[in-house]
Structures are given as C-alpha cells and as structure tokens.
Structure 1
Amino acid sequence: MQPFPSETELSHLIGETLEQVRFDPHSCQLLFERAKILAVLALEQVDTDGRVWRYENIAAEAGPSMLHRLLGLKVRDLESAGLQLTLKFENGAQLRLFSDLEPYEAGTIDGAGKFIVF
C-alpha cells in the first residue's frame, strides 16, 4: 500500500516485548506489551547466527515457524527503509516486515495512540 513511516514515527516500538505470535490463514499478528503488528505480506526472521527464516503467510503452504525464538525479547532498535521495516531484538535477532505499493494494505501497526497502515 505504501512505504513504512520513519523510525521516529515508529519509535514507540522500541522497548516493547514480543508476548505472542498468532497465525491467521493469510496474516501473522505480533502482539507486544502495548502494541500490535498485523503483517499480511512475507516476514523474514534473521537468527543470531545469520540464518534467515521466511514466512509467506499462506496457510495452506506454510513452512515451519521459528518465531517462538523471539517471544519474551525486547525490541532494542528498528530500521525503516521504504518498503522494509526491520525490528532488532535484544539478542541480536531481527524481524523484517515488508510492504508494497499495491492498492491493498500489507499490514497495520497499532499502539501508542497511533494506527499506521502500510
């Protein structure tokens, strides 16, 4: 739908702890203490050893999930670069979320009184 907003606009995610991951047929929900991210497009999890796990959010074709490795970890930093948002966790792992320029939303970020559509 559109690029991610700036790091400043997303700074409320820094310090948040990932508490729950929910898989829906065509999306993934990331629930933090005071924020929620709904991702419709693919996600990429980068482990501390550099291994990349990609999730396409297509239930009938879903592969294994390693997102449980991020549960209980705090977001220490983030990087917003156009159509990619990278959440950097306290153990060095990263989670990449993607947007696109198609007419439908690729996800939402809800928290700190903000509702952001990407």
Structure 2
Amino acid sequence: MKKLALILGSSAMLLAACGGEDATDEGDAPDQEETTDQDRTFTMEELSEYDGQDGNDAYVAVDGVVYDVTDVGAWADGEHAPAGGLPAGHDHTEEIQSSPHGTSVLEDLPTVGTLEEE
C-alpha cells in the first residue's frame, strides 16, 4: 500500500511539474508568440525616423528589407561616409547595387523588418 501511495504521489508531482491537467489554469497558459522586429513593416516616413541622429538607431532599406546599421562603423552618426555621406533612414537599393561591394555587406547585418511597397 505504501508503494502504491508513493507511486501515485510521484505521478501527481510529475504531472504538476510538467503542467499536467492544470496547464489551462489562468497564469499557466502557454505564452503567445510575440511579434518580433523582423515582422515589422516600415513606411518610408517611419524608416526616415531611423536616421542615426540624436540617439536614434540607424536603419537602411535594400530590396525591400530593412537593416540595422546602428553599430556599423561605416555608418557612424547615421551617414555612410565612404559613399559620400549617404544618410541612414532611406532606401539605398540603387546605391548598394552599384557599389563595389554590392549586397555582400548585408549578409551579417540584423534585419528589423520590411519596407512597405509604394
């Protein structure tokens, strides 16, 4: 009888630890999937706010993808100095495609969303 009580007690604790029958109780519900930055869609107006100035992050769009260039040295203060001062907060698809490095420099950049088609 003690073995049966021990087994039943252990099973109840295991169920409780794994969520068991009480998983649907308030507070124990599975977490809802949160929207990430990568799911965000930017308008051109919204993108322009990410100009790297006055403490703002620096974002640029290329081929409809918005990249975070905030921590890229070549984009210090929201301008891409090697390219003659291209400002952050803009779509630079044409400039990047005609640059010597092309789109290869985008591979390691974090993406933060997509640019809304006009």
Under a length normalisation based on structure 1, what TM-score does the superposition of the two structures give?
Answer: 0.25
Higher alpha-carbon Rg: 2
